[in-house]
Amino acid sequence: MIKNKRLNFIASLIDKNTNILLDIGTDHGYLIKKAFDNGKIRKAIATDINELPLNNAKNNLTNYNVEFILTDGFKGVKSEFDLVVIAGMGGNLIANILKDAPNNNDIKYILQANNKNDKLRRFLSANNFKITNEHIINDKHYYVILEVVRGEMVLNNEDYYLGPILKTKKESITYYKHLYKWYNTIIQKNGLTEGEIVLKANILLNHIETNKGKK
Ligand SMILES: C[S@@+](CC[C@H](N)C(=O)[O-])C[C@H]1O[C@@H](n2cnc3c(N)ncnc32)[C@H](O)[C@@H]1O
């Protein structure tokens, strides 16, 4: 049993009809184990750029139908897959890995960046990816989780910073308040009056104020 709310939540998003899960940057392989144990997948491909984490995954996934590949992102992956999970990395690194993603409309993606979700959304909209859902969970830290497929998506600044779908969900307000507080501390400390962080803070504050009192 994995006591990790973030990974358990990601596993819960996996469709029952998923055939082969590609977990890029698998580390300990916990997500794959959870997906198998929940009866969600038939096979998995576990990749990691580092030998030590891949060996940890191998140890945790003996007797499971898993192909292990030591590689950077998609580069060494030759077999087919229908779901890709890239979780627990920075937004820029996830975007960089996605540059090698296949141009296949049937593949689904679950992405969980530890930071820079705005940069990741910018990359997705500029590279023929479409966000189909967004989630926020709190497991000591806030984690934003994106469900993505191939397709066109036009976003504005508010969408990049708040999330085009996340901004419609009422549970996101406490996350936005948390972010606003953090940005505002930096702004006050450095006496900032302009720049990206000021823009982000203004967008957050405007959204928080507009949604005040909404149930
Ligand atoms: C913090 S762990 C996250 C593990 C797991 N995905 C999770 O969400 O808990 C990040 C893992 O990604 C691996 N990694 C970093 N860059 C990578 C890349 N370009 N391709 C594949 N794996 C990578 C690291 O070696 C590490 O094991």
pLDDT level of residue 73 (50, 70, 90 thresholds): very high
One domain for residues 31 and 81: yes
Q: What's the domain range around 138? A: 5-154
Mean pLDDT estimate for the chain: 96
The CATH number linked to 150 is 3.40.50.150
On whether the CB atoms of residues 110 and 146 are closer than 8 A, the answer is yes
Residue nearest to atom 23 of ligand 1 (CA): 25
One domain for residues 70 and 130: yes
One domain for residues 111 and 65: yes
Is the per-residue pLDDT at 148 higher than 90? yes
Question: Which of the listed residues 7, 9, 50 should we mutate to test ligand 1's pocket, taking the one with most ligand atoms within 8 A of CB?
Answer: 50
**Averaged pLDDT for residues 128-132:** 98
Ligand 1 site: residues with CB under 6 angstroms? 7, 24-27, 47-50, 53, 72-73, 87-89, 93, 97
One domain for residues 149 and 193: no
pLDDT, tens digit (0-9, with 9 covering 90-100), for 92-126: 999 999 999 999 999 999 999 999 999 999 999 99
One domain for residues 190 and 134: no
Residue 164: inside a domain, yes or no? no
For residue 86, the CA-to-ligand 1 centroid distance in Å is: 8
On whether the CB atoms of residues 61 and 34 are closer than 8 A, the answer is no
Number of domains in the chain: 2
Q: Which residues pair with 22 in a beta bridge?
A: 45, 84
Residue 163: inside a domain, yes or no? no
